[in-house]
Structure 1
Amino acid sequence: MTDRIRVLHVDDNPTVVDAVETALEREHDGVTVETASSVTDGTERLDGGSFDCVVSGYDLPERTGIGFLEAVRERYPDLPFVLFTDEGSEAVASKAISAGVTEYLRADGGSEPYAHLADTVLHVVEQGPERDERGRFESEARDDTQRERAIEELHTTARAFMRATSEDAIAQITVDAARDILDMPSNAVHFADGDELYPVAWTEQVEQLIGTPPVFTPGNGLAWQAFDTGETQVHDDISSNPDRYNSETDIRSEILLPLGDHGVLLIGSCAANAFDGTDVTLAQTLTVHATTALDRLDRERQLREEREFIDQALDTLDDLFYVINTDGSFRRWNKRLPEVTGYSDAEISELEVCEFFPADERETIHEAIRQALNQGRTTVEAKLRTADGEFVPYEFTGTRLTDTDGEIAGAVGIGRDISQRKAYEQRLERQNERLDEFTSIVSHDLRNPLTVAEGNLDLAKTECDSDYLDEVARAHERMRTLIDDLLAFARAGETVIDIESVGLADIVQECWQTVEADLATLVVETDRQVQADPAKLRRLLANLLRNAVEHGSTNSRSGTDDSVEHGRGRTGSDDEQDTEKTTVSVGAVEDADRHGFYVADDGPGIPPDDRERVFEEGYSTGEDGTGFGLKIVRRIADAHGWTVTVTESESGGARFEVTGLEPA
């Protein structure tokens, strides 16, 4: 083109303005771009000078690009107008085409949208009407009545598209509309399936011209090009086009229109130059409606498949799942609800939530629903009534649901059968009752006669001096120790109820005062705070400290180390053992995934094979031991949710680690 081309670009986005100017002026000689940032400014520039083409965005400050297009068409009906936007949609495209847009381009379409825009501007200017001596466009004669009637009929066809329930039905509506409304008797719709475009619907004239339409593959024909690029192609004469599919075809003119990702609409004629701009515009309007309908079916299919998947997942739950409205009626539920209740789906749809519970619990359920809706979440236990009149204990958790506007829409809930839990709680309650009876017997019925026996023994010692009486005294002491340990063992497994933050070092020092530690030294290497029941923690620490002192030091009374026989003895003479003191240390355990504390000694240690046995009931390495000390330690740890293990200390002694505490 020898004449300069003047383009008016209307957009208020500086980035887009610069990109368009670069693409048009720097890449194409002879093109001049003037810019306007508003509809008013653009209209004034059009009235004040002559332009060959208008490029406009959609989201303009004063009105949309469609509104600007309508204003331009009132003054300059034949001026090429390209709508270039990244905020468009099928609905925007349909309105633009109905308003007479020359080309509709997506700024986010393809790999080089600005280069494509430049090519489009040159093309529409070349294909446009001639300019007069003043540079103004001369209007071509158009049958506006016929065009408006076609657009009206296409909009009527749009309703048929929206009622279509299958892709094949949409394809047939497209073919029929192109033939009957647009007077394009040779047309066919091809749908994409992987790497193929296969024919779905076509007219009788296509059958007469070429038989059954072919299947197109990548790089095979102009149809695949249009589908691959997503751009409408208009060919006035394909007889010399090297990319045509069939070199022997009688078809000369073609319009190839993409149907989004779904396929293409192919329109042909045996005459060259058979289609004008109006034909192309009307065909584009038809494909916009068809593509919108195909997109709708895709969305509906995806939603249907997603819902079926979700329903399948929810139906696998052993728990009840349900969604209720704000009035307490059911909106949705899984198949577990009718299975458990014995009501059919139809009956459930007619019932409210509270009707599934006995009358004396309905107010509790009402209040739980109010809490879920108002506070966001709630949990309640209640007896679910079945259709047979049976009652099953359930725990229900409800969470508030909101719609897209943030308004409360209802609640979603999970119901869990707690029959086994309730039965376990009842068994545990009965066990606790028997345990209370046992501890009562131990603490009163056994201690009282033991106290009488000890008193009588003291009287007997005043009247006679016998070694046998000393043996009786030791037996009494043994019995009292057993009673104390039995009570401690029974109470160690009780539920922890008095949790508070306590200083580990303080409790260790307090417990150390109760240990006969003349031959031992305590080293505390931590000042951490722990969350525990103080009374139970004292018992745990006292047992560990006493165990370290008793088994880490020598047995000076007997002259031999009792623990030698059990794997915890020292070598050397009795004199060396009598003078050697045991060091007991307490510190923090702070590994990557373990948090807690340890009690360690530098005594003989515990052989690996015996480390788990020391926690067994009745296991002891000393004559005076009851075998309950470390068993009590483990039960107290279990009651807190902790873990206690035994290993070797740095000095080769025993190291007991209590872990599972909250990180410091």
Structure 2
Amino acid sequence: MTDRIRVLHVDDDPAVVEAATSALEQAHCGITVETETSVADGLERLDSGTFGCVVAGYDLPEQTGVEFLDAVRKRAPDLPFVLFTSEGSEAAASDAISAGVTEYIRADGGAEPYARLAHTVVDAVERTADDIEYTQSTRRERAIEELHTTARAFMRATTEDAVAQITVDTARTILNMPANGVHFVDGDSLYPVAWTERVEDFLGTPPVFEAGESLAWQAFETGEAQVHDDITSIPGGYNPETDIRSEIILPLGDHGVLLVGSCETGAFDETDVTLAQTLSVHATAALNRLDRDHQLREEREFIDQALDTLDDLFYVVDTDGSLRRWNERIPEVTGYSHDEIDEMSVSEFFPGDEHETIASAIHETRTSGRVTVEAEILTADGERIPYEFSGSRLTDTDGAVSGTVGIGRDISQHKAYEQQLERQNERLDEFTSIVSHDLRNPLTIAEGNLELARTECDSDALDKVSRAHERMRALIDDLLAFARAGETATDLESVALADIVEECWQSVEDERATLVVEDNRQIRADTAKLRRLLSNLIRNSVEHGSEGAQMSADGDADQFGGGVTVRVGVIDGMDQHGFYVADDGPGIPDDDRQQVFEGGYSTGESGTGFGLKIVQRVAEAHGWTVTATESEAGGARFEVTGLDPA
């Protein structure tokens, strides 16, 4: 039972009022009686406060108690009303009951009428409170059940405007809030997007609320719900002249606000607020879902656009062998439409003789995690195109295999290049065969006959023949090295520069020369070809540097100190990485620095002119560049660049 009960007693008989007040206040310590002597004063008092019960006489100034009852019922249909009068008749009682009186008691009827009055008032207030609580509980339960049904409509909504309209319709029909509307935020403004006809009756077209100028913006900015029994008493209102009195303002997350209004003060109870908040939660969840869906669509469109720009095939293969996803390149290359691809299995993109290869590759991907395989795809027109496929395993959140993702790269040009290299290598093999057999064999015979000739006679002419043979054999060796240097560097491995340099130094070491390895680094290279390149550069520095030192020793001053120092180090710059071989010999004139790499160019009598040409060919086979320049000591410096950074 309510702890405090305010009773309004309207009667112009002071004795009745005094006795009734005393009985009521004695019957319940929480009862407070307020009195008026006329209907007009009673209605004014009723409008100014909240009462738990009304007690009135029948014969009142200007109006009867039944007429007073009728006016009360229009204001508060559920408010208990007890007609307590010493004058009555069956007609008066009938009128009171027809008007909806809670109880009719004769002040002069029976024993202790005032005690009966007190008991009746307390009982009526309790029953009314129980009825109201039951009605509110039933209404809440029914509304919540209907809101769950509306939640499904929210989940089916595909636009923000649709969510706003569902919100407005639900508040009107299910929550019995005929005046409501939804505003969405756009920049620093809240724009109306959906509202009821009753809102237009009150306001016309709902206004746009700018930042900081309304209670609606305040609720949106703070994210806190606002419930006002009389907004005319609240500072910060948008329109002080509005007919709206009560208002519920509920934020819809980052999207906007739901506004519910009434022209009556105190129009919304706790049930109204709770139901409206439940509705706002559903609406906010729906708007958040649309935001996430929109972001996901944008991300997917961005990813699809990025994948479609690839020249390579992109694909995701499901566990059943069908394509789950692919980029635009696949229909462009294969000639199949998207609808056709959607119905195809992976094996249908390959000729029969490749099926086992593809099936094995998919199996290996799912077991080992990654695989690369070459296979020819079969287009809709029957064309076979060689591709290299790199696939990786896909797993779900539990670690189970969910498919395969991969890239397919057209290797037609690579295959054509390989065939071209194969033909070139065949020609090189033919050439080296001629050089090594058809030239070396006659040379060997000539050298043998030369030795026989030496036993028969002693002539300076035979020494010239011997030197010619040596020259020919050097040329043959360098021609073979030159031919083999042009082969593509395919047997790549990581080697230490210092280790290879030391090996090369053993074959060209000269007592007049000194080796200094200034730095070290790991290099990915064909070891045999790198050894040939470094040997030729080091030998070039030793031979030409020593010749320069000897020439200086024959002159007036020993410019080079009687020997040459060969230095090997690394190059690490912003734009280039590599290594160098430098010496402190006589160097190379500016005009000859490009010419030294031409075949047959040599400044020495014993040189074949192929040493540096071989260096250039080996560098090119690795994708490197070799240049000649001047060392810090004024000698020759050869720089090999284009290596990948360490």
| Cα distance in 2, alignment partners of residues 299 and 418 from structure 1 | 41
How far apart are residue 478 of structure 1 and its match? 2.4
- After superposition, residues 498-647 of structure 1 pair within 5 angstroms as 508=501, 511-512=504-505, 514-515=507-508, 517=510, 519-523=512-516, 533-554=526-547, 574=555, 576=557, 580-589=561-570, 591=572, 598-608=580-590, 610-640=592-622, 644-647=626-629
Judge conservation of contact 1:582–1:601 (CA < 8 Å) in 2. no
Structure 1 stretch displaced more, 622-631 or 426-435: 622-631
- Deviation (angstroms), 1:406: 2.4
> Aligned-pair RMSD on alpha carbons?
3.0
Counterparts of 1:467-482 in structure 2 under 5 Å? 468-482=461-475
CA contact (8 A) 2:514 2:565 kept: yes
Q: CA deviation at 1:510?
A: 5.3
Q: Separation in 2 of the partners of 1:357 and 1:185?
A: 66
Counterpart check, 1:489 vs 2:482: yes
Q: Could you report, residue by residue, the CA deviation over 1:297-349 in whole angstroms, capped at 9, with x for unpaired residues?
A: 11111112221221122111111111111121111111211111111222211
What is the match of residue 53 of structure 1?
none
CA distance in 2, matches of 1:550, 1:211: 103
Change (3 A) 1:414 1:470: same
Aligned to 1:408: 401
Provide the residue aligned with 1:378 in structure 2.
371
Deviations 1:154-204 (A, max 9, x none): 111111111112111111111111111111111111111111111111111
Contact 1:236 1:273 in 2 (8 A): yes
Structure-2 change in CA distance of 1:393 and 1:608 (3 Å): same
CA contact (8 A) 1:519 1:581 kept: yes
Q: Mean alpha-carbon deviation: is it higher for 296-305 or for 139-148?
A: 139-148
Question: By how many angstroms is 1:554 displaced?
Answer: 3.2
Amino acid in the other structure paired with 2:631: S
Letter in 2 for 1:334: N
How much has 1:534 moved relative to structure 2? 4.9
- Higher mean Cα deviation, 545-554 or 334-343? 545-554
1:517/1:438 Cα in 2 relative to 1: closer, same or farther (>3 Å)? same
**Match for 2:140 among 141, 144, 147?**
147
Tell me the amino acid that sits aligned with residue 187 of structure 2.
G
Structure 2 counterpart of 1:176 = 169
Moved more, 290-299 or 607-616: 607-616
Matched, 1:288 2:306: no
> 3-state SS of the aligned residue for 1:200?
strand
2:634 to 652, 657, 661: 652
Alignment of 1:154-233 (within 5 A): 154-233=147-226
Distance 2:401 2:181 in 1: 49
Map residues 342-421 of structure 1 onto 2, 5 A cutoff.
342-421=335-414
**Which secondary structure state, in structure 2, belongs to the residue aligned with residue 260 of structure 1?**
coil
Counterpart amino acid of 2:214?
G
**Alignment partner of 1:314 is 2:311:** no
Q: Which amino acid aligns with 2:267?
A: A
SS in 1 for 2:539: helix
1:222–1:320 CA distance, 2 compared to 1 (3 A): same
What is the CA-CA distance between 1:398 and the residue it aligns to?
A: 0.9
In structure 2, the residue matched to 1:326 is 319
Unaligned runs of at least 5 residues, structure 1: 1-137, 562-569
Structure 1 residues 577, 639: closer, same or farther in 2, change over 3 A?
A: same
**Superposed displacement of residue 234, structure 1:** 0.8
Q: Post-superposition shift, 1:587?
A: 3.9
Q: 1:579 to 1:356 in 2, by over 3 A?
A: closer
Q: In terms of mean alpha carbon deviation, does 589-598 or 483-492 score higher?
A: 589-598
Go from structure 1 to structure 2 and tell me whether the alpha carbon gap of 1:273 and 1:579 turns closer, same or farther (over 3 Å shift): closer
**In structure 2, do the counterparts of structure 1 residues 219 and 361 end up closer, same or farther at CA, with 3 Å as the change threshold?**
same
- Report the AA paired with residue 220 of structure 2: F
Cα shift at 1:525? 5.7
Query: Structure 1 residues 169 and 395 mapped into 2: Cα distance closer, same or farther (>3 Å)?
Result: same
Q: Would you say the 8 A contact 2:517–2:569 is kept in 1?
A: no
C-alpha distance 212-152 of structure 1, shift in aligned 2 (>3 A): same
Question: Which structure 2 residues correspond to residues 44-123 of structure 1 after superposition, within 5 A?
Answer: none
SS of structure 2 residue aligned to 1:255: strand
Map of 1:94 onto structure 2? none
The 1:507/1:211 distance shift into structure 2, 3 A limit, reads: closer
Letter in 1 for 2:565: V
Q: Secondary structure at the match of 2:183?
A: strand
| Cα contact 2:314–2:407 (8 A) shared by 1 | yes
Amino acid of the residue matched to residue 355 of structure 2?
R
3-state DSSP of counterpart to 2:475: helix
1:581 maps to a residue whose letter is G
How far apart in 2 are the matches of 1:379 and 1:471?
60
**Paired residue type of 1:232:** A
Aligned-partner Cα distance in 1 for 2:267–2:447: 125
SS at 2:177 equivalent = coil
Given candidates 414, 431, 434, the residue that maps to 2:424 is 431
Q: 1:595 Cα shift? A: 6.9
Which amino acid letter does the alignment assign opposite residue 255 of structure 1?
I
| Aligned equivalents of 1:164, 1:579: Cα separation in 2 | 90
Q: Is the 8 A contact 1:523 1:583 kept in 2?
A: no
Partner residue, 1:109: none
Equivalent pair of 1:252/1:269 in contact (CA under 8 Å)? yes
- Secondary structure at the aligned position of 2:283 is classed as helix
Q: How far apart are 1:608 and its partner, in Å?
A: 4.7
Give the CA deviation at 1:350.
Answer: 1.5
Instruction: Give the counterpart letter for 2:429 in structure 1.
Output: D
CA distance in 1, matches of 2:364, 2:560: 70
Q: Amino acid of the residue matched to residue 206 of structure 1?
A: V
TM-score (norm 1): 0.71
How far apart, in 1, do the equivalents of 2:398 and 2:508 lie? 68
Cα pair distance change 1:502/1:395, threshold 3 Å: closer
Asked if structure 2 preserves the Cα contact closer than 8 Å seen for 1:586 and 1:597, the reply is: no
SS, match of residue 233 in structure 2: coil
Distance of aligned partners of 1:148 and 1:496 in 2 relative to their CA distance in 1, 3 Å threshold: same
Query: Residue 231 of structure 2: SS of its match in structure 1?
Result: coil
User: Taking structure 1 as reference, are residues 553 and 189 closer, same or farther at Cα in structure 2, changes over 3 Å only?
Assistant: same
Query: For the Cα contact (< 8 Å) 1:486–1:628, is it kept in 2?
Result: yes
Q: Partners in 1 of 2:559 and 2:282 — Cα distance?
A: 101
State the alpha-carbon separation in 2 of the partners of residues 177 and 481 from structure 1.
100
Q: Cα 1:197–1:321, aligned 2, differ >3 Å: closer, same or farther?
A: same
The CA distance in 1 between the partners of 2:525 and 2:639, in whole Å, is 16
* 1:161–1:170 CA contact under 8 A, matched in 2: yes
Change (3 A) 1:463 1:525: same
Q: Measure the CA separation in 1 of the matches of 2:305 and 2:253.
A: 32
Q: Count residues in correspondence.
A: 515
Cα distance in 2 between the residues matched to 1:426 and 1:531: 25
Task: Please name the residue that 2:237 is paired with.
Answer: 244
TM-score norm. by structure 2 comes to 0.73
Larger radius of gyration: 2
The answer to whether the Cα contact below 8 Å between 2:495 and 2:525 also exists between their aligned partners in 1 is yes
What residue identity is the alignment partner of 1:322? Answer: Y
- What SS class does the counterpart of residue 212 from structure 1 fall into? coil
Percent identical: 73
- Aligned mates of 1:439, 1:327 — CA distance in 2: 54
Equivalent position SS for 2:232: coil
- Specify which of 261, 265, 269 is matched with residue 262 of structure 2: 269
